[in-house]
Amino acid sequence: MIASKRILITGGAGFIGSHLCERLLKDGHEVLCVDNFFTGRRQNIAHLLDEKRFELLRHDVTFPLYVEVDQIYNLACPASPVHYQFDPVQTTKTSVMGAINMLGLAKRLRKPILQASTSEVYGDPTVHPQVESYWGNVNPIGPRSCYDEGKRCAETLFFDYHRQHKLEIKVIRIFNTYGPRMHPQDGRVVSNFIVQALRGEDITLYGDGLQTRSFCYVDDLASGLVKMMATPSEVTGPINLGNPVEFTMRQLAERILALTDSKSKIVHRPLPQDDPKQRQPNINVAKKILEWEPTVQLEQGLQSTIHYFDNLLRGHQHPIS
């Protein structure tokens, strides 16, 4: 029996954060969910509010936080281009100041802290698939750099706190993740395609549609986060978490059209600046150290996600806003 812990999740009302809250509650822990609701949504965690071991605190991580916890998962940051480019200065502050504040809390408590980093630290990669030792190919002054460089700086801070203060850190790099509770207007490809298909609107493919992504179902990712936190103190990462099975954007669009039985047409739009052409994780380190790899196949995960969005559009769940 695992001893119950009090666990802080920043960004806990977000897409991934809410699933992690559920997972840790299911494992018998107390969860302190912290979110400022910039992109997180109260409806994502509404079903948890009556749970005695769940606590919700509205707070912006760019300001210090003083609480007593046993572990910290730092997930707070807008994660889709639509949201992180809306206020790029705040995005950078959330990544950098948020990391400083949460690391300061972990240092005071002498407790482990996990940083949810991103595959975006690799930029538009020249190494494929991406391995953790690759330093990346990032434009430091482009429209995506508020997120890319913010997350890179956060990783720097984590390892400096580890070296300078002997803090127990865990850094994972999240690759494309999808599933129920994705924000319907976050501009990410899975939610975009599903909503467009269900509404019978044109499905927008950027560029030639041959750029690739790898899609990890959110339950698999949450499992990887928990496994990483449970590793011995000498395991710091960074470790890639994602699904290594690669699909082109056109293949994804065609799969969603088939699953939704939609009559939507595929149309092409110009490729956004600095949009990576390839994105695929090498997860050999996760397999070896965490004994983790995804188990949910794309078709199965898409069906659950389509069901969620179908209910949302029909008004059976909270309205799109």
* Catalytic residue numbers, as ranges: 147
Q: Please, are residues 240 and 119 in contact by the beta-carbon 8 Å criterion?
A: yes
Contact 221, 177 (CB under 8 A): yes
18 contacts: CB under 8 Å, gap ≥ 6? 12, 40, 44, 45, 48, 181
Distance separating alpha carbons of residues 20 and 12, to the nearest angstrom: 8
DSSP one-letter code for 41: -
Q: Which of 37, 23, 294 is nearest to 183 (CA)?
A: 37
The whole-angstrom separation of Cα 255 and Cα 148 is: 29
Q: Which helix (H) or strand (E) holds 224?
A: helix 218-229
Nearest 5°: phi and psi at 143?
Answer: -70, -20
Q: Which residues pair with 35 in a beta bridge?
A: 58
What one-letter code names the amino acid at 36?
N
Backbone dihedral angles phi then psi of residue 149, each to the nearest 5 degrees: -75, -30
